[in-house]
Each structure stands twice: as structure tokens, then as C-alpha cells.
């Protein structure tokens, strides 16, 4: 895909835009490639772009008590960024890492701000992306608060099976706030009773 194709895809997923809006967005996109294991954003660095994942999978994580805790996964068709760092342009406490060989298209902060001033539909696109991220974060937080381990795993399996299939189990366990041993038991139970809800 080229930048215009990616802009069309972003428009299709997040917010319908006119050809001129798609053209404007495509003009600031920056293609980037990362190898599996590469760090896309380091802790303490400012998140200076939104990243649309064309190919591959990435995760956001942080360190707590010397353990890394996975907060979010993104894969094809999703946007990843550290929201507080991006909006405030302050150093990030989160780290973004490529879990696979990954192709991203960066939407730079400065270019996006300029477009938002000139193009109302780019401003609306930004709001839709932030809305999507806020809802997703709220749903994940509610799942941690109100669901047991089996229910959290079942939700992930239903809503984002790509993560179960592609991400390392240790990161999935961290994301679901359970130990790898608990995740193994939950998975085994789910496999032995696949039709139960």
C-alpha cells in the first residue's frame, strides 16, 4: 500500500472523509518498518506521532516492581500511541515494542495539528480516533474490574482472537492481569468446554 491507500483505510475504519481530506492526511503519513523485538517508543521519550499498523503486531507496556506489564496490543488496521504523552507532548511512561516484523505509518503530531486547524474533517477524524481509544480503554478497565479470569480470557478470545493466536502467552497473561499458570488453566478449561458460555 502507498500513503494514499493507508489514508483511505484510516478513513474507512475511523471516520469517512472526502477525497480532499484523504489527500491531506496522506500528505503527512510517514512509512516506518521495525523488526521483531525493536522498540518503537522508549520510556522517557515523547510520543510524537500516532502509528497506524499496516502489517504486524505491537504492544504497549510499562515496568512495575521490576516486571513488565502489558497494557495494550495493536495489529493490522489499528492505531497505537501513548495518549497522555502524545496529547501533552511530554515524556512517556509507556514503551511500545514490535512483537512481529511490523510496518507502521506515522501520523506526526505537528503535521496533524496543522491539518486540524485547516481541515475540519481531519479534526473530526482525530476526535473519532480518541473516542475509539477511550472506549477501548474503558472496556478493558471494566473487564479487569468486574470479570473473573475465565471471563476476561473468553472476552479476549471472542473480540480479539488475533492476540490469542499471535502474541506470546506471557504478554497475554500480563494483559489479562493473571499469572501464566492461571492463563494455562483457563485456556485448558476453555478448550475442554468450547461451547459453554
Domain boundaries, the chain: 3-134, 147-197
CATH of domain 3-134: 2.60.120.10
Sheet with strand 95-98: strands edge to edge: 39-41, 95-98, 57-64, 67-75
CA–CA dist 113, 99 (Å, integer): 30
Which distant-in-sequence residues (6+ apart) come within 8 Å of 184 by Cβ? 169
CA–CA dist 40, 33 (Å, integer): 10
Per residue of the chain (197 residues), give pLDDT as tens: 899 999 999 999 999 999 999 999 999 999 999 999 999 999 999 999 999 999 999 999 999 988 999 999 999 999 999 999 999 999 999 999 999 999 999 999 999 999 999 999 999 999 999 999 989 889 988 988 999 999 999 999 999 999 999 999 999 999 999 999 999 999 988 888 755 44
Yes or no: say if 34 and 102 are a contact pair by the CB < 8 Å rule.
yes
Amino acid at each position: 500500500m502507498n500513503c494514499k491507500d493507508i489514508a483511505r483505510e484510516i478513513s474507512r475504519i475511523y471516520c469517512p472523509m472526502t477525497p480532499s481530506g484523504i489527500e491531506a492526511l496522506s500528505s503527512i503519513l510517514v512509512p516506518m518498518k521495525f523488526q521483531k523485538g525493536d522498540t518503537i517508543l522508549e520510556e522517557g521519550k515523547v510520543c510524537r506521532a500516532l502509528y497506524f499498523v499496516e502489517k504486524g503486531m505491537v504492544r504497549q507496556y510499562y515496568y512495575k516492581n521490576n516486571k513488565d506489564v502489558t497494557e495494550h496490543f495493536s495489529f493490522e488496521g489499528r492505531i497505537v500511541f501513548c495518549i497522555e504523552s502524545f496529547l501533552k507532548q511530554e515524556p512517556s511512561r509507556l514503551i511500545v515494542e514490535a512483537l512481529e516484523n511490523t510496518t507502521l505509518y506515522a501520523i506526526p503530531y505537528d503535521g496533524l495539528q496543522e491539518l486540524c486547524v485547516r481541515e475540519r474533517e481531519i479534526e473530526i477524524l482525530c476526535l473519532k480516533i480518541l473516542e475509539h481509544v477511550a472506549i477501548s480503554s474503558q472496556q478493558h478497565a471494566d473487564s479487569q474490574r468486574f470479570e473473573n479470569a475465565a471471563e476476561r480470557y473468553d472476552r479476549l478470545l471472542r473480540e480479539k482472537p488475533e492476540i490469542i493466536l499471535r502474541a506470546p502467552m506471557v504478554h497475554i497473561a500480563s494483559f489479562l492481569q493473571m499469572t501464566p499458570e492461571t492463563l494455562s488453566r483457563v485456556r485448558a478449561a476453555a478448550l475442554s468446554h468450547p461451547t459453554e458460555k
